[in-house]
Amino acid sequence: MNQPGDPSATRLAVPAWVTLLLLALAMASGNIVLGVFSALQEAAKAELQLSDNQLGLLQGLAVSIPLAVLSIPVGLAVDRRNRVKLLFWMSAIWTIGTLLTAIAHSMPLLFAARMLAGIGANLSTTIAISIAADVSLPATRGRSLLVLTIGKNAGTALAFALGGMLFGMFKLAGGIGKLEPWRSVHLALGLASLILTFAILLIREPERREVETTVRLPLRDVAAGLWLRRKFIAPLFLGQAGVLMADAAAAIWAAPVLNRSFGLGPEQFAGWMGGVIFVAGVLGAIIGGYAADLGHQRGGGGGGILTAAVIASLIALPAALFPLAPSVPTFAAALFVLLLGGAVTGLVTATAIAVIIPNELRGLCIGLFIALGGLVAFGISPSLVTGLSAAMGGEDKLAPALATVGLCVSILGSAGFFLAKRRACQPI
């Protein structure tokens, strides 16, 4: 406990809503710089003469490799170290990756740049969820994590909307210092991110809640604690991985489909696509947050929290066919439903972990979800799409390949959430 006069007591006096807003700002910043390459990738492809397979590697393996390697160590550090300092360094890393993207003129250097952007933006999620969980009570935790989800989705939306707007501006103005427009966008956003990084230092480290033991558990005991909960964790991971695969494939390949199927450039679709992403993310976060809290309050041994995830995954399932839409409005509507379902299930999954999993196991559990989920969603999903596209006849078959992969993984996701809901009610 903090005693009067203890400096840490002053730090903990920072209102919870201020901490949540700063965390949301950090999440938005990271997702802007991570997602903007997806909006502008056709321009990068044309300049560097990249193939679809190379684009898939830049947004697939470049993101999944660091997630697979570092998520667990970061998850352990979250349970044991100062989380605010960890978040600051993650922001610094994604900023460096964004600035490096602006000047990379070879596939290896661009791959390294996207790795750095992915490390910071994705690994920061574990840190932010852990901090947010400790500045809120279990009964309101879904709504607290809702703020983070809104920030994350706002960042993804701005990656398209702001990226497209800046691309159009730099295209007319000739870029910054003779850089190509897509490079100029990354340079401008990287410099803005550098400034926002220091706002993270305004956050104060909160006291940890729901700690089952005051003794720091060794890794073996932490792993054993998660293993005891495997009947719940495994299907929950399957559900979230399926949704992540569908959403990751959509985020990576939606822009190329719009360009190739409808002849639209970033300056033409980025604005409304950013709006679709933002509204779906915000609405999904609100639905998921309130539904998770309502399910928790009604009891059911924890299974009630996941009711919304089961329903949302089923509603979003047919929307995975959005690449086959006959018109742009239909494309946008189906993409909206798919992303809405993903936002709901993502928030509900995070809430379920934050409520059901003890604090001393929580960081590692989230780290495992991000590591394995990222490896599957970003390491496998993009390559599945390009591989199936090649099997169907080439790069002009991108749309049906994306629809097929999205539908199949969405079915797996729905099945996983259904099993997790049933097993959450069972004793360990």
- The enclosing domain of 391 has a CATH number of 1.20.1250.20
Domain assignment present for 253: yes
- Which range of residues forms the domain containing residue 180? 9-206+221-424
Distance CA 25, CA 12 (A): 20
Domain assignment present for 1: no
For residue range 228-264, list pLDDT tens digits in order: 888 888 999 999 999 989 998 998 899 899 988 999 8
Alpha helices in 137-218 (DSSP H): 141-173, 181-197
Query: Looking at the chain, how many residues does it have?
Result: 428
Q: Is 394 left (phi over 0), alpha (psi -120 to 50) or beta?
A: left
The pair of structure tokens assigned to 362 is 């929580």
Q: Dump strand ranges (E) for 307-374.
A: none
> Residue 325 to residues 33, 157, 271, 315: CA-CA distances in angstroms?
29, 21, 19, 17
Cβ-contact 75, 357 below 8 angstroms: no
Domain assignment present for 281: yes
Cβ-contact 117, 101 below 8 angstroms: yes
Looking at residue 125, its pLDDT comes to: 82
Domain assignment present for 2: no
Looking at residue 12, its pLDDT comes to: 38
Domain assignment present for 212: no
For residue range 76-87, list pLDDT tens digits in order: 788 778 888 999
Looking at residue 345, its pLDDT comes to: 92
Looking at residues 33-52, what average pLDDT do you find?
89
Task: Considering only CA atoms, give the Rg of the chain.
Answer: 21
Cβ-contact 364, 72 below 8 angstroms: yes
For residue range 186-217, list pLDDT tens digits in order: 999 999 999 889 888 888 887 776 555 555 66
Q: How many domains does the chain have?
A: 1
For residue range 396-416, list pLDDT tens digits in order: 899 999 999 999 999 999 999
SS3 (DSSP) at 236:
helix
Question: What does pLDDT average to over the chain?
Answer: 84
Domain assignment present for 216: no
Domain assignment present for 214: no
Phi first, then psi, for residue 67 (nearest 5°) are: -60, -45
Cβ-contact 176, 99 below 8 angstroms: no
The pair of structure tokens assigned to 185 is 């966008």
Q: Which residue has the tokens 């700063």?
A: 22
pTM above 0.85, yes or no: no
- pLDDT over threshold 90, residue 122: no
Distance CA 101, CA 111 (A): 9
- pLDDT over threshold 90, residue 326: yes
- pLDDT over threshold 90, residue 108: yes
Looking at residues 48-59, what average pLDDT do you find?
87
Domain assignment present for 293: yes
